[in-house]
């Protein structure tokens, strides 16, 4: 199993957008339960990349799955009734939730999205699954985007 997803992501193909490095890290899929979601993916031959992490700040449990490419699949389960993904499940059911991009500067990335009319839905916070690296969520052009900062812990 991969214990350091951040280190693995550094080897991924990166693109430069307006002088900023971006790389697609994972696709987030909301599930009622990780065990149910895992059964679907493992039945198709996918393998777990990590153990299950509990993130008390985000109020979720997550597990990453190797997708067969450089992009991981993240199964996201609400850990508490007031988890941000609980409402998503109630309104839309399980399924695609977000794209996560590695960024050089999380604050600059959030500010850019805000300037372009996007909404910052979760300001930068440390994430358990990424050894305390900061993540943030934005809503932009109908899509939830997670930013994962490549630099040191803030």
| Domains, the chain | 5-149 (3.10.180.10)
Q: Residue 17: name the closest of 135, 131, 116, 119 by CA.
A: 116
pLDDT in tens, 38-80: 999 999 999 999 999 999 999 999 999 998 888 999 999 999 9
Q: Whole-model pTM?
A: 0.85
Query: What's the confidence (pLDDT) of residue 23?
Result: 87
Q: Which residues of the chain, if any, have pLDDT below 50? A: 1-3, 6-7, 9-12, 153-154
| Residue 4: predicted pLDDT | 52
Contacts of 36 by beta carbon, 8 Å cutoff, 6+ apart = none
pLDDT, position 1: 40
> 100, 118 in Cβ contact below 8 A?
no
pLDDT at 6: 47
Q: Residue 53 contacts by C-beta under 8 Å, 6 or more apart in sequence?
A: 61, 62, 63, 128, 129
Give the C-alpha separation, 1 to 123, whole Å: 30
pLDDT of residue 68: 84
Q: Which pLDDT belongs to residue 3?
A: 46
What pLDDT shows up at residue 67? 87
CB count within 10 Å of CB 73 equals: 19
In this structure, the dihedral spanned by the alpha carbons of residues 104, 98, 125 and 24, taken in order and rounded to 10 degrees, is: -20
SS3 of 108-147: the string is HHHHHHHHCCCEEEEEEEECHHHCCCEEEEEEECCEEEEE
């Amino acid at each position: 199993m991969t214990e350091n997803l951040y280190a693995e992501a550094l080897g991924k193909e990166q693109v430069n957008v307006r002088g900023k490095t971006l790389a697609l890290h994972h696709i987030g899929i909301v599930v009622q339960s990780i065990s149910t979601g895992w059964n679907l993916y493992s039945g198709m031959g996918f393998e777990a990349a990590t153990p299950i992490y509990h993130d008390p700040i985000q109020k979720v449990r997550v597990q990453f799955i190797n997708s067969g490419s450089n992009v991981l699949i993240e199964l996201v389960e609400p850990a508490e009734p007031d988890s941000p993904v609980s409402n998503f499940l109630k309104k839309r059911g399980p399924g695609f939730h977000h794209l996560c991009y590695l960024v050089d500067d999380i604050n600059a990335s959030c500010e850019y999205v805000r300037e372009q009319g996007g909404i910052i839905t979760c300001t930068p916070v440390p994430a358990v699954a990424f050894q305390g690296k900061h993540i943030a969520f934005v809503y932009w052009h109908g899509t939830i985007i997670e930013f994962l900062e490549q630099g040191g812990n803030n």
